[in-house]
Amino acid sequence: MKTTQSAEEKPNGQPIIEIIEMHKWYDEFHVLKDINLQVQPQEKIVVCGPSGSGKSTMIRCINRLEEHQRGKIIVNGTELTRDLKNIEKVRAEVGMVFQHFNLFPHLTILDNLTLGPIWVRKMPKKEAEELAMHYLEIVRIPEQANKYPGQVSGGQQQRVAIARSLCMKPKIMLFDEPTSALDPEMIKEVLDVMVDLAKEGMTMIVVTHEMGFAKTVADRVIFMDFGEIVEENEPNAFFDNPQHERTQLFLSQIL
């Protein structure tokens, strides 16, 4: 099943995310250079690379938390352009999990989860609550529903954040270093949830340095450095036989 090199060889045609010759600048600073990436439905992609290499910026461009200045980004059939009126429609299909969870501290965990379904999906409150409880069970913390985010542990908060995104029934999930703000003993509980999610067939782009996770879950691993995609390969080849010097250096540092 797993293909090496590029996604174009994949049998199932239409990519769900397409990034073509994309560039981004912060003022004068060229942060992303000629990014090309195609993601097929249900594909799992792990992005790694040194700090400041532009990983976060790249995945944030996918739901337009950041604007790109050149090239094309097409998400779920919609091109992200400056005059796009309904960016909310695209975002509703793209879940995002942040390094620092970003739960809404003034709402209970249940309300954090039902907010999107109620206001974006226009779901009746009762139905939204059932949905929320369903996903809280999936992330294994149904008993915390009525607490506030500040009252549960970091690992639990991150699982709530994942459940919050899942309640929108997104087609794509983006993870930006979801475990790097967590104590070691909590990392596993979050990764377990993500592995389950991957098994369910979710399309995922995960920025992470958890190489074990990459090996078990990823279809492709992408290595970025200085705003470029330096290397892209299926995980075994990527870890055992990195082609680029920069990749080799990076892997030797983190493994």
Partner 1 sequence: MSVQVENKAIKPPLTNIGVIGWIRHNLFNGYLNSLATILIFILLIQLVPQFVQWAFIDSVWFTSGKECHQVEGACWSVVTQNIRFNIFGYYPYEHQWRPLVAMIILVSMLIYSRDWKKWSRKLGYTWLVALFSMGVLMKGGLFGLVSVESTKWSGLPLTLLLSFFGILASYPLGVVLALGRQSRLPIIKAFCVVYIELIRGVPLITLLFMSSVMFPLFLPEGVTIDKVLRAQTAIILFTAAYIAEVVRGGLQALDKGQYEAAESLGLTYWQKMRLIILPQALKIVIPPTVGILISAFKDTSLVVIIALYDILNTTKSILNVPEWTGFSTEAYLFVAAIYYFCCYSMSRYSKKIEKELEYKADT
Ligand X SMILES: Nc1ncnc2c1ncn2[C@@H]1O[C@H](COP(=O)(O)OP(=O)(O)OP(=O)(O)O)[C@@H](O)[C@H]1O
Burial of 9 (0-12, 13-18, 19+ CB in 10 A): exposed
Nearest to 80 by CA among 93, 62, 94: 62
CA angle 49, 55, 61 (to 5 degrees): 165
Q: Would you list the DSSP string of 193-218? A: HHHHHHHTT-EEEEE---HHHHHHH-
Q: Residue 186 binds which one of Mg ion, ligand X, partner 1, none, with CB within 5 to 8 A depending on kind?
A: none
Site membership for partner 1, residue 95 (CB under 8 A): yes
Q: Residue 54 binds which one of Mg ion, partner 1, ligand X, none, with CB within 5 to 8 A depending on kind?
A: ligand X
Q: Residue 222 binds which one of partner 1, Mg ion, ligand X, none, with CB within 5 to 8 A depending on kind?
A: none
Q: Residue 52 binds which one of Mg ion, ligand X, partner 1, none, with CB within 5 to 8 A depending on kind?
A: ligand X
Site membership for partner 1, residue 88 (CB under 8 A): yes
Nearer Cβ to Mg ion (68/167): 68
d(CA 47, CA 57): 12
How far does CA 77 lie from the centroid of its chain?
Answer: 18
Site membership for partner 1, residue 164 (CB under 8 A): yes
d(CA 64, CA 73): 10
Nearer Cβ to partner 1 (7/163): 163
Q: Residue 100 binds which one of ligand X, Mg ion, partner 1, none, with CB within 5 to 8 A depending on kind?
A: partner 1
Angle between helices 154-166 and 184-199 (to 10 degrees): 20
- Write down the least CB distance from residue 53 to ligand X, Å: 4
- Write down the least CB distance from residue 62 to ligand X, Å: 12
Interface with partner 1 by CB under 8 A: which residues?
Answer: 63, 65, 88-96, 98, 100-106, 115-116, 119-120, 147-151, 157, 161, 164-165, 168
